[in-house]
Structure 1
Amino acid sequence: MPVKPTTTVQVDVYFDLICPWCWIGKTHLDMARRLLAERQPGVQVQLRWHSVQLIPQTPPQGWPYQAFYEHRLGGPEAVRARRAQVQAAAARAGLTIHHERIAMFPNTWRAHQLLAHAAQQHPEQHEALLDALFEAFFVQGLDIGDSQVLAQLAQAHGVDSTESEALDAPPVWALPDGASGVPLFVFNQRQAVSGAQPPEVLLAAMQLACQTTD
C-alpha cells in the first residue's frame, strides 16, 4: 500500500555497550534505514535508545576481560569458540572486533550516563557518540568504564562529560516483558525483533510498521 509522506516509524532499541551483538545489530539497523530511505523516501525513522546493563554487578573498576569470559563461558576453549562466532558475524556486517586488545570488562553505567546526557543536551551528537563508544571498546580496546576515556570521547563529540555526572542516574531500563536479551528492536511499540538480525529482516519490520501506521 502507498505510504503517506508523513509516515513515521518509531524504533525502540534496547542495548548494552559491552554486547558485540548490539554493535552488529546497530550496524544492520543503519543499513536497513538506508535501504528504507532509498525505497520509501517519505518515511521518517525515529530512534529511541534504551540502556540495559547486562551485568550491573560489575564493579566500577571492571573485571579482567579474559578471566571474566572464561568463568562465564566455562573455559578458554569455549571463549575461543564464542569469539570466532562473534567475529564471523561482525565481518559479515563490515566490522572488525579486536578481543585481544581488550583488557577490562567494564561497568557501563557511566557510559550510559554520558549517552543519556548527550540525548538530552546534544541530541545531534548522540548517535555518533554511541558509535564511538562501541568502536572504542571493540576496536581500540579502551576501558569505557574509565572516566578519563569517557571524557576524551565526549570532548571529541562536543559533549561535556562533567555535566553528565550531574544526572541523578542514567535511564537504565529493564527489558520489556517477555524479552530475554539484547539487542532488541521494537517497531511502533507493536512488533519486536530480537537479536542481531540481518538488515533485510529489520527493513521488512520497518516496512510492515509503515503499513500498520494509522
Structure 2
Amino acid sequence: MKDVTIDVYMDTVCPWCRMGDASLRAALKELPEGTNAVIRYHAYQLNPGIRKEGEDYRKVMIGRLGGEAQFQARMKQYNQTGSQFGLNYNMDLVKYTPNSVLSHQLIAITPKHLQSQLLERLYTAYFEEGANLGDVDELVKIAQASGVTNDPEATKQRLLQGEGLDKVDEGQRDAQKLGIRGVPYYIVNDKDALTGLQSPADLISAFKRQ
C-alpha cells in the first residue's frame, strides 16, 4: 500500500463527524507497518449563521428535525450508533448550538501533529461534558488540557485577534467548490471521495484502492 493522505471535512459540533473521527482512527491502526498516513482537517460549519453567542440546542434541533418526538429519536440514535465506535453522547448536557468558528480557528493554529488529539478532546468536551465550544475561555481550557498550549492567555489573544480565520474561510470555500453538502467527508490521496459516516472497513478499502 502507498502512503496515504486523507483530507477530512468536518465540524466540531457534528456528532457524525465525531463517529467518523473514531472510525478513521480505527482504520489507521490497520494500515500496514511503515505506511505513512497524513490527515488534513478542513473546517466545515454546519451552522454558519448561528449567532456568535450561540443558540439553544434543543430549540435549534427541534426546529430542524420537525418536532419533539423526532428530536428524542435522534438523541437515541447518536448513542446507539456512537456505541459502535466506543463513544458516549450525554446530549442532556448539551445546552448550546455554538457558532463553531472559534473552535475551527483553534484547530488551524495548532501544530499539525497535535491537531488530532485536540479534535478528539473538543468532541469529548462538547458531546460528553456539554462544553460551550463558542466560548473562547472554554476553548483555551480544552487546548491546555489537550497539551497543545502552555500559554493560555496567548492562545486566547490569538483567537480573539482572528488568527486562523483564513484557514476556516478556505475550508468553507473549498467545500463549496467540491459540492460538499454534509460532513464527515473524506478525500483519499486527492482523488477518492467518501461522503458521510464510513466504517473502518470502508475506509481501509478506500486506502487499498490507492
TM-score by length of 1: 0.88
- Give the number of the structure whose residues are more often helix, by fraction: 2
Deviation sequence 1:181-211 (CA, Å, 0-9, x none) = 10001001111111111110001111112xx
How many Å separate the matches in 2 of 1:136 and 1:170?
A: 25
How many Å separate the matches in 2 of 1:94 and 1:195?
A: 18
Note if contact 1:114-1:161 (Cα within 8 Å) is conserved in structure 2. Answer: no
Note if contact 1:109-1:170 (Cα within 8 Å) is conserved in structure 2. Answer: no
Quote how far apart the aligned CAs of 1:171 are.
1.5
Match status 1:171 vs 2:167: yes
Match status 1:88 vs 2:80: yes
Matched residue pairs, number?
198
Deviation sequence 1:113-151 (CA, Å, 0-9, x none) = 111010xxx333221111110100000011010111011
What's 1:130 paired with? 119
Match status 1:10 vs 2:5: yes
TM-score by length of 2: 0.89
Note if contact 2:9-2:186 (Cα within 8 Å) is conserved in structure 1. Answer: yes
How many Å separate the matches in 1 of 2:166 and 2:117?
A: 18
SS in 1 for 2:194: strand
Residues 140 and 170 (structure 1 numbering): CA distance in 2 closer, same or farther, change over 3 Å?
Answer: farther
1:60 is aligned, of 46, 52, 60, to: 52
How many Å separate the matches in 2 of 1:164 and 1:66?
A: 28
How many Å separate the matches in 1 of 2:141 and 2:178?
A: 37
Residues 59 and 46 (structure 1 numbering): CA distance in 2 closer, same or farther, change over 3 Å?
Answer: same
How many Å separate the matches in 1 of 2:181 and 2:144?
A: 35
Matched AA of 1:21: W
Runs of 4+ in 1 over 3 A off after TM superposition: none
Match status 1:143 vs 2:132: yes
What's 1:212 paired with? none
What's 2:22 paired with? 27
Deviation sequence 1:51-74 (CA, Å, 0-9, x none) = 011111100110011111111111
Deviation sequence 1:4-58 (CA, Å, 0-9, x none) = xxx321100000011100000000000000011xxx2132111110001111110
SS in 2 for 1:193: strand
What's 1:182 paired with? 183
SS in 1 for 2:4: strand
How many Å separate the matches in 1 of 2:185 and 2:109?
A: 22
Matched AA of 1:63: E
What's 1:191 paired with? 192
Please say which of residues 79-88 and 92-101 is displaced more in the overlay.
79-88
SS in 2 for 1:91: helix
How many Å separate the matches in 2 of 1:151 and 1:42?
A: 35
- Structure whose alpha-carbon radius of gyration is higher: 1
What's 2:96 paired with? 104
- % of aligned pairs identical? 30
Structure 1: segments with no counterpart, 5+ residues: 210-214
What's 2:152 paired with? none
How many Å separate the matches in 1 of 2:157 and 2:98?
A: 19
